[in-house]
Structure 1
Amino acid sequence: MTTNRQLCIGLSLSATWMNGNGWRLQNSGVENLFASDFYVDLAKMAEKAKLDFVFKPDSLFLNCDLLDKSPGFSSLDPIVLLTSVARETERIGLVATASTTFNPPYVVARQLQSLHWISNGRAGWNIVTSIDGSENFDHSPMPSSEERYTKAFEFTDVVQKLWRSYPNEALIMNRASGKFVDKEMVSPINHSGKYFSVKGPINVPAHGSGDIPLFQAGASTWGRNFAASVANAIFAATPDIASGIELRDDLRKRAKDHHRYPDDIRVLPGMYFFLGKTRSEAYDLYKEAHAHLSMSHRYKVVQSILGMDISNLPLDQPITADLLPDTDMPVRSRTHADLLRRLIVQQKPTVEELLSRPEVVGSAHWVVVGTAEDALKEIVEWFEAGAMDGLIALPGGSFQSLQLFFDELMPMLVEKGLFRDEYKGRTLREHLGINSSLSK
């Protein structure tokens, strides 16, 4: 190995192996999709392997078009779910997703600080601006990416001000003197901005372990700037090693521009893996997971991501940069659009090649198909190339992929010296190696 660093690894608590036809397998566990014990068991598996955290993505809408054949975006509320997980685990970090577009900052600040106390310092916040769901909150159309991130900057600032408004040091609890809190240390924030007006202070004191680590999941230009200014870790969508290197290099540069150390930000791509005892078994899993996707569906996905219709083009025609629509055309996800645009500019894929890309048929994330040894080789390659600081595990195909991840891949990473064999701390901040307070 050419590095003494170790990986930061989290597990997604979304049952990604149920995507496509995966939920129909006998051992998928789909009957327990809305049972808290199902997720508690996953978290315990992750804690046994000494993972840094479990991560609960979220969306605030239900895709009814998919619902007859898949779970769609059905999901338990992350804060409620992770509170139940907190009571059944001891060390593993608990990263909850909360949207800055649809929630009030006071509620999010209070919920997360409550989870921080209940878990004894293990809470994390995955900050998202959401790409769908506006119709569930008002009649306004979804704001542009620029507006959502402008709002997210203010939202995050308000949340952090609220966390500082009732510092842990204010707690005295002196029975003899009768003094519960040094109230001079607790103060309103009196925030008045473009989007929010919040008096404060929060009614839950800060936990003694320090600030709650911040995660961020956007990779658009606005998302990168936001992440570089506030995030401790990035849940990155980087389908190949080149995009991983580019994103990490760019974020580290932006961190310097925001007067932060580059190492303050950990880039954690989602690794969507299909593991088998043999490569043939793994490829069969991958193929079966996407067998339900018709060509018409794939064309619709491309149109949804890029805002362009390629259904009338010959399958062998290259897609070149001059065919792309203007970058200011509204799209569902700027992050996914930028990924595919970059691919087209650099590789000029044919229509057929584009329709078979993982970003189109399954995920915008890094896809690994093979044995545990194959996955280890790719992880080492990405890590040594500077394409990541760790990963968030997204098991695909079947529950067997997750079992092989824990039973075979994780021990290999420990043996290579790329991951710990025991926890050295008890809080998420300690797992991530965060020494200083974000609020300082």
Structure 2
Amino acid sequence: MSVREKLRIGMSLAPTWLSGDAWRRSDSEIEQVYSSDYALDIAKRSEAAKLDFVFRPDSLFLNVEALESGPGFGSLDPTIQLASIARETSRIGLLTTISTTFVPPYVVARQLQSLNWISGGRVGWNIVTALDGNENFGLSEMPSAQERYERAAEFAEIVRRLWESYPADALLTDRSSGRYADSTQVRPIDHDGTHLRVKGPLNLPAFGNTRIPLVQAGASPDGRNFASSVADAIFASTPDIEAATELRQDLRRRAEEHGRKASDIRLMPGLSLYLAQSRKEAAALFKETHNRMDSARKLDSILAMTGLDLRDWPQQQRVTAADLPPLPEKLRSRTHAELLRRLILREEPTVADLLTRPEVIGSAHWQIIGTVDDAVAEIVKWQSAGAIDGFIAVPGGSVSSMHLVLDELVPRLAEMRLFRSDYSGKTFLDHLEE
């Protein structure tokens, strides 16, 4: 990959900078987190930095236990939140998250195309199969990963066909002839599949002749295969450069097997950024954020992901490959579990070190703790090595860390010609494909 190839960059609207103890800081504005203005400010700052998109991840359950020490998974509905942002912005892409496991495809197709009209073609769909929340939708347990991804593939195809069922060209609005639309172009999809039945057509025309980009979250074998067959980009956890390089190469190979070009799929991992004016301040910010994290909960998480019980182990004892039992049969996220297992096999960390790693305390995202200079150097290293096509920023520790990403880090990348200095297109797809 050429060092001069431009990155794609998104900003998470999930306020990760309020996680851990960061919400207790005097500048956190935690009281405003459920207001429309809170996310709108971030979106406007992101648009000023010329980012490709803002992104709202989602979950359809509430971790009540976690509420004692932080917001947990509480959030506004992402699509409604982005609709409030659409009218106040003009260029930045709006990437919403909707699960294929719980919601009917007709509703999803209509919501997304509605937001596409409201925003002028700036919508993207982050496709997830969900890891939790089944009991909120009448399911006693989550379907298997294979079943979820089979349904997701069918679901995504239905949604795309519904968008095509009422093409933009069918809308005539010809006052002189009295023809509102060419109804011969509007056709039902008559889908009768393994998991879903949908007649169609959609009761809303497509916006223009562009398409809505698809993003997929997850990097399990089933997730990789699904993403490489339909997605424009994948949002995944890649805690180190080797993991990112392997994933990107595999996705590109799989895309070609599906009859696509390797460049049709872009790897945009989450990038957790704890930034400050000095490395010492950044390290202190990270430590302060995670000071109160319950060790017992982290050890329980390790047990659930690996089957390894470290609760009675000395803090300085190393965890080795020989200590690992077979992976548990039932896992919340096999991808996350395998990343944690990979860390132990590669590094044989002490118990104390293990409890500080992103595979345990977070979502196993690529993590940089340091200055803007440190972040720029690391991003250039990964991009030059062909490990990434871009990233989704998930700043941590403080609001100031998020501001440093947008006010200093992204402009530095633009100065190096690794990112745009201005928008050249108007739609989300324009940004991804420029």
- Taking structure 2 as the reference length, the TM-score comes to 0.97
Q: Name the aligned partner's letter for residue 165 of structure 2.
A: S
Structure 1 range deviating more: 24-33 or 354-363:
354-363
By how many angstroms is 1:327 displaced? 4.2
The 3-state SS of whatever aligns with 2:67 is coil
1: CA distance, partners of 2:417 / 2:116: 30
Q: Which letter maps to 1:114?
A: S
Do 1:57 and 1:78's aligned partners in 2 also have CA atoms closer than 8 Å?
Answer: yes
Match of 2:31 in 1: 31
Match of 1:90 in 2: 90
SS of residue in 1 equivalent to 2:367: strand
Alignment of 1:174-323 (within 5 A): 174-323=174-323
Report if the CA contact (8 A) 1:307-1:331 is conserved. Answer: no
**Which residue does 2:81 correspond to in 1?**
81
Distance change in 2, residues 1:323/1:144 (3 Å): farther
Code of the aligned partner of 1:43: A
Where 2:342 maps in the other structure, the secondary structure is: helix
Question: Partner of 1:438 in structure 2?
Answer: none
What is the correspondence of 1:122-137 to structure 2 with a 5 Å cutoff? Answer: 122-137=122-137
Contact 1:121–1:428, Cα closer than 8 Å, also in 2: yes
In the TM superposition, residue 410 of structure 1 has moved relative to its aligned partner by 1.5
8 Å CA contact 2:307, 2:327 repeated in 1: no
Deviations 1:54-80 (A, max 9, x none): 000000000000112111111000111
Note if contact 2:17-2:398 (Cα within 8 Å) is conserved in structure 1: yes
Counterparts of 2:70 and 2:328, CA distance in 1:
33
One-letter code aligned to 2:65: D
Q: Deviations over 1:220-241 (max 9, x none)?
A: 1111111110110111210111
1:111 aligns with 111
Counterpart check, 1:384 vs 2:384: yes
* Superposition deviation, residue 180 in structure 1: 1.2
Give the SS at the match of 2:354.
helix
Checking the alignment, whether the CA contact within 8 Å between 1:274 and 1:285 is kept in structure 2 is yes
Per the TM alignment, residue 317 of structure 1 is displaced from its structure 2 partner at its CA by: 4.0
Task: Name the Cα RMSD after superposition.
Answer: 1.4
Q: Determine if contact 1:151/1:195 at 8 Å carries over to the other structure.
A: yes
- The answer as to whether partners of 1:124 and 1:428 remain within 8 angstroms in 2 is yes
The question of whether the paired residues in 2 share the 8 Å contact of 1:306 and 1:331 is answered with no
| 1:148 maps to 2:148 | yes
Return the letter of the residue paired with 1:186. Answer: V
Partner residue of 2:367? Answer: 367
Secondary structure class of the residue paired with 2:268: strand
Spell out, residue by residue over 1:181-219, the C-alpha distance to the aligned partner (whole angstroms, 9 max, x if none).
Answer: 111111111111121111101111111141100001111
Query: How far off its partner does 1:2 sit?
Result: 4.6
CA contact (8 A) 2:305 2:328 kept: no
Does the CA-based 8 Å contact 2:239-2:366 persist in structure 1?
yes
1 CA distance for matches of 2:140 and 2:7? 42
Deviations 1:67-124 (A, max 9, x none): 1211111100011110110000000000000000111111001000001111000000
Percent identical residues:
54
Is 1:50 matched with 2:50?
A: yes
CA pair 129-139 structure 1, distance change in 2 beyond 3 A:
closer
Work out the number of aligned pairs and report it. 434
Conserved 8 A contact 2:306-2:327 = no
What's the counterpart of residue 405 of structure 1?
A: 405
Partner of 1:18: 18
Find the counterpart in structure 2 of residue 163 from structure 1: 163
Please give the TM-score of this superposition, normalised by the length of structure 1. Answer: 0.96
CA drift at 1:316 = 4.0
Q: Secondary structure at the match of 1:67?
A: helix
Q: Which residue of 2 aligns with 1:330?
A: 330
User: What is the letter of the counterpart of residue 254 of structure 1?
Assistant: R
Deviation at 1:306, TM superposition (A): 2.6
Q: Alpha-carbon deviation of 1:328?
A: 6.3
Letter in 2 for 1:387: A
Deviation (angstroms), 1:311? 1.9
1:426 maps to 2:432: no
- In structure 2, the gaps of 5 or more residues are none
SS at match of 2:293: coil
Query: Deviation at 1:324?
Result: 3.2
Counterpart CA distance in 2 for 1:2 and 1:252 is 17
Note if contact 1:172-1:180 (Cα within 8 Å) is conserved in structure 2: yes
Unaligned runs of at least 5 residues, structure 1: 435-440
What is the identity, as a one-letter code, of the residue corresponding to 1:18? L
Q: Tell me the alpha carbon deviations over residues 266-292 of structure 1, each in whole angstroms, 9 at most, x when there is no partner.
A: 101111101101111111100011101
